[in-house]
């Protein structure tokens, strides 16, 4: 009932969590004071509310409340009324007075007033008088010697007072005292002796005595839905339910049906073994406990219409067999008919989806030979190829969908993209996009092989690229061999050429819209393959696309596109500039390193460029020798791509040509230095020993893409 390691009792009172009296043993606002000398528990930090017990499922706590009384003295004058008994629980954050209480007055000349506060001020009253001829026969609290009335919801403070009644006859014939109190409604039972003597006051009026009163509590303010949205629900047990308190206090938690325990604790709700409690969970047959429930069946050879409440009796075995046979045949027939109906319904649904997704239009294009490279797949083919889209077949998961490895019936390996959304307004536009993508014929763009249109969101089938993404090549493994600068520039150039082709070489230019290292696959011999066109847009020549919703990846997003919703081919240039930075720095688009924790790579790079210290951010594995000038040229190209204004950025064609020129120029320079180094080695045979390489030779070989061991210091000239 309590938190592990915390005391669960104060005297005889069980203290369940969220309540507790040791530090760290209670939820904030639910502390209890335990007087160990008297073994008494009190609600909150003071001793105004002595606790009798808690009810977790009902959200109640029973406490002791003192009564208020006023007596007439012996001279038949009205004495000084008892001081009002105040009860203020506003300092107990989640508590209010339950409507299970009643306001009660006892007396023969009594006018008592109940004052309270919830969201409004509240005043009510109760009046009781006595008649000498009838009081002895009265046993009900209906005004003759006793009066009761209900109280409103959500009272957070209350107190009682008396109005004076000037009469001397009551002091002679009846009890001279009047009493007023709020108590649990089923606790009080009126007795005529209370009006004829001081008996009630003697029983309940002492300093350490009083009447039981019920307080409602909730575990937190707000609603279950609000707590779930904020991930702050106090219902911690797996098998627990959250319930909004109807009077607006907040919410409480209960164990689900079939479970019992404390829903405010992890693993606090445990399965009830109903078979051990036959009085609560009846079973006239064989009882078996299940998780959250139980089963009750008749022993073999007996039967009952309801074995939980009706005893099992023996019947004719033949009649039972006949009955079972008839039922079995009926079930089989129903199952066959239902299966056929479901198949027809599924076929109609697939036909509808195929039609809505533009299937007839694409089919006509194929028949007219406008499209000859796209296959139309059935959903069963792709389910079989991906083992029903099994998680073990996942190649990657992104914002536009999940890609699976598929093996077709002819053993051809493909990549199957199952999208989560489809950003097309009409079927004709989607079909036109498939047609254009099918016509992209570039060695550095992943080729579209086909599609499936008989599902809610069309499934696309691409050629399979086996060696992962550029992101994993650069950032994936700290123990990997460094990727040479030549390989990095090769990937950069080929990716730029693919994007330039998309921008210029089709009838309608295609803007990729989500260029990043995760969307560049690595083929054989480090061949770059641009993929994932989920955010792509086809634009008219020399036009822009205004977007209502920005798509892309943080760290790569063009600021002009992000702020003005203006998607152009220069948006791809900006994103490619970030990819270029990943290649020469070895850092991710959003990285944490030293003082630059959680910074964008683009902003950090531009700052280092402006401060003439770009070497501080470059990848140490590719810096050395003649690399500095080369890397400065690449860094300058990246800076141009990252210009805030799109019009100041180069086109993708210019970027591709610049990267190609850098590779050609520096290959020639390094090849010449390689030849000079070899000539120097011949003229000075004592330089390296045992075939060792000089530092210059090592970096030259790296630039040429050769896989050699880095020389030791003792080998260097």
Least confident of 325-334, 505-514, 646-655: 505-514
Q: Which residues contact 441 (CB under 8 A, 6 or more apart)?
A: 447
- The C-alpha atoms of residue 310 and residue 285 are separated, in whole angstroms, by 9
Tokens of 58: 């009902």
Is it the case that residue 596 has pLDDT exceeding 90?
no
Tokens of 432: 């036109």
Nearest Cα to Cα of residue 125 among 99, 155, 104, 96 = 104
Give the pLDDT band of residue 185 (cuts 50, 70, 90). confident
- The C-alpha atoms of residue 232 and residue 230 are separated, in whole angstroms, by 5
- The C-alpha atoms of residue 428 and residue 147 are separated, in whole angstroms, by 80
Q: For the chain, what is the mean pLDDT? A: 80
Q: Are 457 and 416 in contact (CB under 8 A)?
A: no
Ligand-binding annotation for 417, yes or no, is yes
Q: What is the pLDDT of residue 451?
A: 83
Is it the case that residue 170 has pLDDT exceeding 50?
yes
Nearest Cα to Cα of residue 113 among 145, 149, 72 = 149
What is the average per-residue pLDDT within 128-155? 80
- The C-alpha atoms of residue 281 and residue 653 are separated, in whole angstroms, by 78
Which residue of the set 216, 271, 514, 572 is catalytic?
A: 514
**Range with top average pLDDT, 18-32, 440-454, 464-478:** 18-32
Q: What is the pLDDT of residue 712?
A: 45
Q: Are 445 and 530 in contact (CB under 8 A)?
A: yes
Q: What is the pLDDT of residue 687?
A: 40
Helix residue spans in 82-192 (DSSP H): 169-173
- The C-alpha atoms of residue 700 and residue 680 are separated, in whole angstroms, by 15
The full 3-state SS of 275-334, as one line of letters, equals HHCCCCCCCCCEEEEECCEEEEECCCCEECCCCCCCCCEECCHHHHHHHHHHHHHHHHHH
Tell me how crowded residue 548 is: count the other CB atoms within 10 A of its CB. 5
Q: What is the pLDDT of residue 264?
A: 93
Q: What is the pLDDT of residue 521?
A: 93
- The C-alpha atoms of residue 334 and residue 318 are separated, in whole angstroms, by 24
The tens digit of pLDDT for each residue in 428-439 reads 556 666 766 777
- The C-alpha atoms of residue 91 and residue 427 are separated, in whole angstroms, by 63
- Classify strands 9-10 and 211-217 as parallel, antiparallel or unpaired: unpaired
List domains and CATH numbers for the chain. 1-47 (no CATH), 61-217 (no CATH), 221-265 (no CATH), 357-463 (3.30.200.20), 470-676 (1.10.510.10)
Give the pLDDT band of residue 417 (cuts 50, 70, 90). confident
Q: What is the pLDDT of residue 543?
A: 57
Tokens of 92: 């107990």
% pLDDT > 90, the chain: 30
The tens digit of pLDDT for each residue in 97-127 reads 888 999 999 888 888 999 988 888 889 999 9
Residue bearing tokens 């390689």: 674
Angle at 292 between CA 288 and CA 294, to 5 degrees: 25
The tens digit of pLDDT for each residue in 353-383 reads 777 666 666 666 665 555 556 788 888 899 9
Counted residue by residue, the chain has a size of: 717
What is the average per-residue pLDDT within 134-148? 76
Catalytic annotation present for 207: no
């Amino acid at each position: 009932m309590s938190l592990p390691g915390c005391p669960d009792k104060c005297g005889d009172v069980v203290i369940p969590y969220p309540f507790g009296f040791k530090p760290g043993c209670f939820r904030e606002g639910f502390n209890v004071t335990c007087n160990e000398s008297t073994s008494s528990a009190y609600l909150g930090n003071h001793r105004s509310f002595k606790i009798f017990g808690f009810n977790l499922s009902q959200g109640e706590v029973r406490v002791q409340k003192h009564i208020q009384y006023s007596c007439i003295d012996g001279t038949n004058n009205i004495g000084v009324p008892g001081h009002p008994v105040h009860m203020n629980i506003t300092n107990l954050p989640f508590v209010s007075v339950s409507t299970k209480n009643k306001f009660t007055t006892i007396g023969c000349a009594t006018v008592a007033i109940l004052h309270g506060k919830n969201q409004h001020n509240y005043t009510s009253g109760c009046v009781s008088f006595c008649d000498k001829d009838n009081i002895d026969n009265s046993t009900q609290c209906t005004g003759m010697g006793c009066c009761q009335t209900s109280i409103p919801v959500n009272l957070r403070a209350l107190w009682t007072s008396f109005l004076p009644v000037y009469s001397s006859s009551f002091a002679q014939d009846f009890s001279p005292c009047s009493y007023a109190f709020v108590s649990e409604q089923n606790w009080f039972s009126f007795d005529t002796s209370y009006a004829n003597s001081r008996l009630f006051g003697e029983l309940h009026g002492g300093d350490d005595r009083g009447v039981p009163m019920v307080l409602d509590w909730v575990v937190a303010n707000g609603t279950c839905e609000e707590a779930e949205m904020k991930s702050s629900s106090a219902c911690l047990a797996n098998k627990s339910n959250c319930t909004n308190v109807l009077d607006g206090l907040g919410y409480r938690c209960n164990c689900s049906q079939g479970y019992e325990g404390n829903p405010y604790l992890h693993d606090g709700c445990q399965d009830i073994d109903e078979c051990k409690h036959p009085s609560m969970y009846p079973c006239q047959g064989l009882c078996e406990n299940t998780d959250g429930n139980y089963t009750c069946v008749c022993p073999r050879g007996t039967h009952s219409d309801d074995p939980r409440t009706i005893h099992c009796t023996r019947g004719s075995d033949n009649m039972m067999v006949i009955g079972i046979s008839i039922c079995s045949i009926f079930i089989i027939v129903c199952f066959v008919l239902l299966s056929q109906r479901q198949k027809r319904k599924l076929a109609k649904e697939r036909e509808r989806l195929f039609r809505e997704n533009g299937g007839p239009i694409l089919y006509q294009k194929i028949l007219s030979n406008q499209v000859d490279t796209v296959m139309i797949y059935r959903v069963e083919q792709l389910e079989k190829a991906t083992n029903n889209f099994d998680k073990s077949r996942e190649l990657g998961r992104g914002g536009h969908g999940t890609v699976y490895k598929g093996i077709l019936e002819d053993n051809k390996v493909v990549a199957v993209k199952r999208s989560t959304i489809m950003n097309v307004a009409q079927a004709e536009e989607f079909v036109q996009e498939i047609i254009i993508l099918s016509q992209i014929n570039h060695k550095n763009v992943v080729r579209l092989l086909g599609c499936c249109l008989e599902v809610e969101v069309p499934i696309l089938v691409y050629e399979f690229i086996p060696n992962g993404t550029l992101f994993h090549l650069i950032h994936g493994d700290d123990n990997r061999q460094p990727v040479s600068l030549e390989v990095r520039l090769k990937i950069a150039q080929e990716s730029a050429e693919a994007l330039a082709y998309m921008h210029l070489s089709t009838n309608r230019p295609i803007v990729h819209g989500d260029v990043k290292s995760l969307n560049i696959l690595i083929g054989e011999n480090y061949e770059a393959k641009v993929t994932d066109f989920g955010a792509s847009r086809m634009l008219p020549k020399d036009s822009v696309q205004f977007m209502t919703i920005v798509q892309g990846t943080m760290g790569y997003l063009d600021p002009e596109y992000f702020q003005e919703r203006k998607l152009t081919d220069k948006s791809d240039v900006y994103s490619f500039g970030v990819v270029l930075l990943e290649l020469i720095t070895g850092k991710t688009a959003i990285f944490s390193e030293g003082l630059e924790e959680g910074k964008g790579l683009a902003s950090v790079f531009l700052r280092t460029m402006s401060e003439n210290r770009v070497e501080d951010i470059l990848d140490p594995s590719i810096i050395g020798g003649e690399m500095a000038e080369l890397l400065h040229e690449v860094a300058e190209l990246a800076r141009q791509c990252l210009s805030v204004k799109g019009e100041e950025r180069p086109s993708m064609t210019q970027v591709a040509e610049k990267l190609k020129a850098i590779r050609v120029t520096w290959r020639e320079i390094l090849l010449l230095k390689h030849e000079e180094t070899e000539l120097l080695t011949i003229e000075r045979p004592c330089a390296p020993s045992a075939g060792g390489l000089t530092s210059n030779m090592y970096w030259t070989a790296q630039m040429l893409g050769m896989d050699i061991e880095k020389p030791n210091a003792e080998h260097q000239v």
